[in-house]
Amino acid sequence: MPSVGVKIYSVFFKLLLRHRLQSLAAADAAADTDSDAFGVSCRADEATAPANPAFSAADGVASKDLHIDPNSALSVRIFLPTPPPQHAHLLLHRRASDPPAGAAGAPYRGYLPHAVSSPRAAASARRRLPIVVQFHGGGFVTGSNCSASNDAFCRRVAKFCDAIVVAVGYRLAPESRYPAAFDDGVRVLRWIAKQANLAMMSKVGGGVDTFGASSVEPWIAAHGDPARCVLLGVSSGANIADFVTQKTVEDSKLFNPVKIVAQVLMYPFFIGSVPTHSEIRLANSYFYDKSTCLLAWRLLLSEKEFSLDHPAANPLAPGRGGPPLKCMPPTLTIIAEHDWMRDRAIAYSEELRKVNVDAPVLDYKDTVHEFATLDVFLKTPQAQACAEDIAIWMKKYISLRGHEFSY
């Protein structure tokens, strides 16, 4: 069972969360019926962590923020792990006064080879990293890609998986209701594809004009491998990740050369009209009880389309639509023992396994919803173990050396 401290903290957390959601609902009811198309991606009361383009002394990960859509609040925070020692000498524009390449706190200057004998040598020296696209939690109405807890979690993933992490700052409800957040996820995948295509055009010579060259994001274009892309969703972010995966499966040409090789669903925010055993037994569970989460769903979905069997809420609802489950990529599901959403996540994973999709479930004992991503839990052994387990499984599909990292 969770400790007494966790139980006490949970009580205050739930009271505060319910108050925030009720305030948002009241403000939305009093606001103009015309929604704000630009939207918001972070609440004013959300504690944020600043981006830092230097490699951190703590974890050797650099980060920066980008606003990628001029018509909305959609943004991303990109995390880049420090190069290994064998690539350290490849830093561009390095001066004698600079810190050693790859040293903690050293400013990022890129680590592409600047003097190689042949294109083949350049290709081998160039360090290509898999891309993990991460969607934060918060019930679609709170949370941020640059919150202190999400920043720390993404740094951990970038370090353990040795991958570029793109944390998506999608638009929040009720300012931007469904499908805004889901469309933002699709837009980010297409943006990554654009970066890869622009980089490819620049290689073949003269394919990118001045405007196109200026829009290239160097961390993605120079170091990302779009053919090894993983979607990682936390709570409500898992719903978005699964939706985006379905869209890429339905029309992969729109996202070329991005290829989703796997997805990770961490305690997905699934629900349905027919309650499961865990939804009944754990309805008043820690931190995120069912009644409070229903408020979040009402803020996301308009009154006309509100349904607990909505495609965004229930992946196994009748008439779900989308691609057949057998076309979905390998899917790792993380669940917590004291989480009322666990049964539906297990059921979705079981349906994937029935059609021969690699879809394991990792069930962590004595844990609660968001046990590996909430700020109060980030330093616990369970949170550390969860991140390591994700990295081990993920490397089956992102490693260039095959399945040697499998369990």
Determine the Cα–Cα distance for residues 69 and 133; give it in Å rounded to an integer.
17
Asked if 326 contacts 357 with a C-beta cutoff of 8 angstroms, the reply is yes
Tokens 């990682």 identify what position? Answer: 232
Reply yes or no: is the peptide bond before residue 174 cis, omega within 30 of 0: yes
Q: Which of 368, 372, 353 is nearest to 1 (CA)?
A: 368
| Burial track 101-133 (b if 16+ CB lie within 10 A, e otherwise) | bbeeebebebbbbeeeeeeeeeeebebebbbbb
Nearest one of 132, 143, 128, 140 to 178, comparing CA atoms:
140
Taking the C-alpha atoms of residue 180 and residue 169, their distance in angstroms, rounded to an integer, is 12
Active-site pick, 72, 235, 236, 349: 235
**Pick the catalytic residue: 151, 339, 343, 389?**
339
Calculate ∠ Cα 285-347-377, nearest 5°. 40
CA-based nearest residue to 27, from 139, 141, 137, 136? 141
CB 366 within 8 A of CB 286: no
What DSSP element (H or E) covers 43? none
Determine the 3-state secondary structure of 247 from DSSP: helix
Helix (H) or strand (E) holding 392: helix 381-398
Run of H or E including 387:
helix 381-398
- Establish whether 235 is a catalytic residue: yes
Q: Are strands 129-135 and 224-234 parallel, antiparallel or unpaired?
A: parallel
Catalytic residues: 235, 339, 369
